[in-house]
Structure 1
């Protein structure tokens, strides 16, 4: 985007639904909401992504429905739901239902999928990266069409977050359908991919300013934990290249409230600076 994004910075925490009881996960969500985070994500996998590969683990969408009932303010969603695991019409209906349970707080995150064990163990065809992306491209219009035909419809125009950074296919799908793009990598990588996404928007006739840019501060929540000395500095570097939604991963095994507090303080400071600069209140 040629001009700075006027959106306020937002902080999300991805609760890893692994190696913990559901009670622990629910309490974690309540704690994070009380602290003031903007969004709570989980992930859509069937087995842990780190630690004991056969450890405790919970399913994505049933957990989101429960969190919709146990939280009041924070937005919720998957980072991200795997398109391959559910019929797109069913997935649209599930998402619409969680949207209503939450009172309009759902962010619909979706991606093409990548975890081969999930596919093998649950009987889905793994295919290739190309075939999974083709399936995602085909599913997106079906999901949006189903939302338009459901009774009742979603409570709002559900924000669609698409995850992934493939420049030839994924970012085109983002340009066509997403309101949020979640990318992976450092600031330099994301700056390049932002330009690629802007180019795709021009080709499909979309204003690139309609798409909020999202990234992990770590920078890859949902993958192996990474050590970052200064999370606020890492977030600032991403903010400087257009990122406005920042996500950190949360493990109940080694929770780090200090990391979240530091990022909340940074979020509030950068948003206050933006308000002071333009003289408006967001």
Structure 2
């Protein structure tokens, strides 16, 4: 089984739209299946210049500036947008892209960015996430000419026309998180994909087992959901190039080898192959140096071709 490789960026660390467009075009040209970005408004180290970019504004631009690569978020925070507004935004970007959009949705965790931009950050957010997933899928799934209503603890929608509709019959929904019970149940109820973000490698297979148990309880089969992981990327054609790339993102080579797709080409192939053997079907390669397009080229030519 071929392992699906995607490019995942962190623009809050400092990137313009043009920076992201260059990476997205390289992603498309080199044969990766998707360009994804985080949805954050504040840097997590460094000055963050030139400043953050909004995830769905970015994806709207890329929908018109690319043609084949899939586009999405890991992950949009439920605290950032009302679900009714988000449903319209995502459906519109899907139309603009000709049906290439996917959405990862999470509860949000970075309190400081909420403080910095005046965004409410309630202490309990899982209920927001659960209701948003129900509302998004409910709005998109309502037949044209019908209406959608929802009366929950956090949101109320009354006789919505549930428009616009996405270009796709169903926008893929990605659910992540490490909770023992509620998150797997949420993935089994709403998820087309379950993502493990930066896991310890020896926990990947057990977590897939937990998700498969939740799927069985919901009457779904294991192959009805895509199992994915997101890992930092730092690969060189030799040790010197790998060390240079590690230094460029401020990480130690040994630490990267322990936690990411890192090292030489052969090491990267072995690591990705082992993930595939554990049941992973898709890997999001976290690219932290957005100006090093040769990095993406190396992985596409030398690593992906061996998988």
- Per the shorter chain, which TM-score range? 0.7 to 0.9
Match of 1:237 among 266, 274, 291: 274
Q: How far did residue 137 of structure 1 move? A: 1.1
Once the two structures are superposed, residues 255-275 of structure 1 have per-residue CA deviations (whole angstroms, 9 ceiling, x without a partner) of 2633553356443433xxxxx
Conserved? CA contact 2:21–2:62, under 8 Å: yes
Conserved? CA contact 2:27–2:34, under 8 Å: no
Counterpart in the other structure of 1:174: 187
Within 1, Cα distance between the matches of 2:140 and 2:250?
35
Counterpart in the other structure of 2:288: 251
SS in 1 for 2:79: helix
Compared with structure 1, are the counterparts of its residues 77 and 253 closer, same or farther at alpha carbon in structure 2 (3 Å cutoff)? closer
Compared with structure 1, are the counterparts of its residues 259 and 152 closer, same or farther at alpha carbon in structure 2 (3 Å cutoff)? closer
Within 2, Cα distance between the matches of 1:246 and 1:264?
17
Bigger relative CO (Cα 8 Å, ≥ 6 apart):
1
Compared with structure 1, are the counterparts of its residues 20 and 209 closer, same or farther at alpha carbon in structure 2 (3 Å cutoff)? same
Pairwise CA RMSD: 2.4
Counterpart in the other structure of 2:81: 86
Counterpart in the other structure of 1:146: 139
Match of 1:135 among 128, 134, 139: 128
Corresponding position: 1:23 with 2:18 = yes
- For structure 1, the 5+ residue unaligned runs are 1-5, 271-282
Conserved? CA contact 1:19–1:253, under 8 Å: no
Corresponding position: 1:40 with 2:20 = no
Q: How far did residue 112 of structure 1 move? A: 1.0
TM-score of the superposition, structure 1-length normalised? 0.84
Compared with structure 1, are the counterparts of its residues 254 and 210 closer, same or farther at alpha carbon in structure 2 (3 Å cutoff)? same
Match of 1:161 among 156, 174, 199: 174
User: Structure 1 segments of 4 or more deviating over 4 A?
Assistant: 223-226
- For structure 2, the 5+ residue unaligned runs are 143-161, 234-248, 257-261
Paired residue total: 260
Once the two structures are superposed, residues 180-199 of structure 1 have per-residue CA deviations (whole angstroms, 9 ceiling, x without a partner) of 11103133211111111111
Instruction: Please tell me whether Structure 1 or Structure 2 has the larger radius of gyration of its CA atoms.
Output: 2
Corresponding position: 1:110 with 2:105 = yes
Q: Give 1:151-230 correspondences, 5 Å limit.
A: 151-156=163-168, 157-184=170-197, 185-218=199-232, 227=256, 228-229=262-263, 230=267
Within 1, Cα distance between the matches of 2:292 and 2:96?
28
SS in 2 for 1:47: coil
